[in-house]
């Protein structure tokens, strides 16, 4: 009778040890995943900031180009109008 009890107790101890070890392994894996997730979030944030800066720069260049072209064509238009009337600008 005591032999069965000790066998059951030993198996129970092994089972509890494996549960604790397994839980520790799962917690360790979750910690690794959380670290990787944070790294990916940081990289995504940096990439999004870069894309936003490129967009702002591109928008500024397009605005300047449009302004320059507008000024150029307005100057040509005024020159044409005043040239036809005999006045020089």
pLDDT per residue over 14-32, tens digit each? 777 666 666 677 777 888 8
Distances in whole angstroms, Cα of residue 58 to Cα of each of 16, 24, 49, 64, 70: 62, 51, 14, 10, 18
pLDDT score of 20: 67
Q: Residue 3's domain spans which residues?
A: 1-89
Q: Residues of the chain whose pLDDT is less than 70?
A: 1-8, 10-11, 17-23, 83-89
pLDDT score of 8: 65
Q: Indicate the pTM of the whole model.
A: 0.47
Total count of domains within the chain: 1
pLDDT score of 60: 79
């Amino acid at each position: 009778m005591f032999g069965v009890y000790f066998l059951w107790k030993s198996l129970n101890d092994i089972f509890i040890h494996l549960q604790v070890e397994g839980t520790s392994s799962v917690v360790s894996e979750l910690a690794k995943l959380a670290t990787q997730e944070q790294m990916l979030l940081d990289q995504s944030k940096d990439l999004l900031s870069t894309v936003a800066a490129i967009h702002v720069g591109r928008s500024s260049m397009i605005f300047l180009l449009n302004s320059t072209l507008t000024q150029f064509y307005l100057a040509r238009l005024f020159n044409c109008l005043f040239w036809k009337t005999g006045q020089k600008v």
